[in-house]
Amino acid sequence: MDRINIGFIGAGGIARAHAFALNALKFYYDDAPCIDLRAVSSMRKESRERFAKKYDFKEAMDVESFVKHPGINTVYILGPNKVHFPHLEAVLKMDNVERIYLEKPICSTREEELKLEQLAQSISKKVKIRVGFQLLASSAIRKALNLWHSGRFGKPVHFRFNYMHSDYQDINYRKKRYTRLTPAPDGGAMADLGSHAISLMIAFLGHDLEIVNAMQGGAFADVPDESDLYSEISLFEKSSGAVGNLSASRISAGMGDVFIFEIFAENGSLRYNSYYPDRFEYYNNADNNWVEIYSGSDYKPFSTFPSGHVPGGWLRSLFHAHYSFLSEGETGEAIADLNHGLEVQRLVRETAIHLHKFREKRSKGIT
């Protein structure tokens, strides 16, 4: 494989996680590609220079210089939500770019979404794009997806997906993350956290989901009313007739950070809880019994680092997401490509519309 020359646009917390994952690949995969960390760019000169020095990138530069860099063939777009699409547009004009890893959300406005829909087919023929929904690379979730799509459960009947977080109860944390409190679809709990749950809901249930209603709750004086701290949506899956709900929370006391889903079908059910990241459970009506499936680190090619039985967890799935993205062939799991990102964006945008209607009713005292 040719050397992969990587550039980052963004030098914040998520960029650190990606830098760590890229450096870790060689420990887990014998056939990991040769990676050269060429350049990092961000708005603030001191931030990008500090990042480059600390994480061994060869150069730090502004975005204008970055997109003219002839030596970069792989770009990670990791800046603030509102600049993901402008950065993607600029990177697509780079002469030698072959791969783009685009953190979610893929865009912030309906206008940007429409442009991406028009560009999607031509982009995918020129450049390999992955969107940052790395929960799809979780070992247990990959196994659960394969089992679900085997057809043994029959049609879905009802479902629930919940992503709960608690840090935004702390005013100091809210001040530090104030840029995340913009209105949906750019910000808010549903765009920031719920998009991961939506990504998995789509992977299990497909692209035929329709939002029926939405509500939001929670309020602090320093948080704009348009930014949802907790929101939930009711959904209808048109091909099967299944119904369900999905919620996203930044203020669920005592929960830390947890993702849970349950799908109930004609012939059984399936459930997952990220507190136990290396297993899922399913129930089969014929057997009248719950079965626990332990996945461990069953990624291919098999890795014994640090050992074969060590739990996978969040970072391990991030490592595999990068390996899949940078490898020549796919490894069979659900892939968060641009079309997947667009479907997530559609549901996040439509959620924002429903939440606006809910706030209008609430202000008028209508329940």
Question: Quick one: three-class SS letters along 30-61?
Answer: CCCCCEEEEEEECCCHHHHHHHHHHHCCCEEE
Sheet holding 128-131, edge to edge: 59-61, 35-41, 4-9, 74-77, 99-102, 128-131
- pLDDT value, residue 311: 57
Q: How distant, in Å, are the alpha carbons of 123, 192, 210, 325 from that of 321? A: 20, 19, 28, 6
Measured distance CA(33)–CA(74) in Å, rounded: 12
pLDDT tens-place string over residues 319-367:
989 998 998 755 555 789 999 999 999 999 999 999 999 999 998 887 6
Burial code (b: 16+ CB inside 10 Å, e: under 16) for 93-122 equals ebeebebbbbbbbbbbeeebbeebeeeeee
Contact 350, 211 (CB under 8 A): yes
Residues 6+ apart with CB under 8 A from 27: 305
pTM, two decimal places: 0.93
Residues of the chain with pLDDT under 50: none
- The residues, ordered by sequence, that sit 6+ positions from 231 with a Cβ below 8 Å of its Cβ are 188, 189, 190, 194, 214, 215, 216, 217, 247, 248, 351, 355
pLDDT score at 305: 66
Residue 160 pairs with which residues in a beta bridge? 245, 262
Output the pLDDT for position 367.
64
Sign of CA dihedral 144, 147, 151, 157: negative
Instruction: Give the tens place of pLDDT for each residue, 242-284.
Output: 999 999 999 999 998 999 999 999 999 999 999 998 899 999 9
